[in-house]
A = this chain, B = another copy of it.
Amino acid sequence: MTVGILLFEEFETLDVFGPVEILGRLKKEYKIKFYSLSGGDISNSHGVTIFTKKLEEIKNGVDIFLIPGGYGTRIEVENVMLLKTIREISELSKYVLTVCTGSALLAKTGLLDFKNATTNKIAFDWVITNGQNVNWIRKARWVVDEKFYTSSGVSAGMDMTLDFLKDLHGVNIARQVSKEIEYEWTEDSKNDSFC
């Protein structure tokens, strides 16, 4: 399955590379690539720079479209062209996963309207202004509604991605991956100590 990861300036490091570690372990199942609106190098203030292809290359969708959060989302929620592209790709993708404030971008496209979703705890009150018809759930490590998986802040993206593996490959595979990376997986999405 193809995994297309959206990047933009000031993406959050672990929002991206937590899920990449987890999906990347199933090498035969997942092929991960990075995309941005204009392509080229995308950076954040943690010193991380990743080369990206143009989003238009996946305009017909991917198996898994992953939207991270980060300070950059505060700017990108006003980027009409990016939001239009996110909407098009998300509609045609099999699954859409957001981490942290990445849900603000997806919510702003309207695709989360009348669906259950969650987001980062500290930025919660800002994120929900970007999707007033979304049924935002504050106490949740992550939320699944049909093809949309939305997680709480940063590290919660790893718990959500393990749950995604569980849904597609069974709980034993998900537990095996969490053991390999020595990660204490919060298996219950309602177990949210940060709320």
Chain A: residues with CB nearer than 8 A to chain B? 12-14, 16-18, 20-21, 23-25, 27, 31-34, 44-51, 120-122, 152-156, 179-184, 186, 193-194
Contact = CB atoms under 8 A, between A and B. Distances in A.
B27 A45 contact: yes
25 contacts: A13-B24, A14-B21, A17-B18, A17-B21, A18-B18, A20-B48, A24-B44, A24-B46, A24-B47, A27-B45, A31-B47, A32-B47, A32-B48, A48-B50, A49-B50, A49-B51, A121-B182, A122-B180, A152-B182, A153-B180, A153-B181, A155-B181, A155-B182, A155-B184, A182-B194
Contacts of A49: 50-51
Oligomer copy total: 2
Contacts of A153: 180-182
Given A182-B153, A183-B154, A183-B155, A21 B50 contact: no
A12 to B, nearest CB: 7
A1 to B, nearest CB: 13
B182 A156 contact: yes
Given A17-B48, A31-B47, A32-B46, 5 more contacts: A13-B17, A14-B18, A25-B46, A120-B182, A182-B194
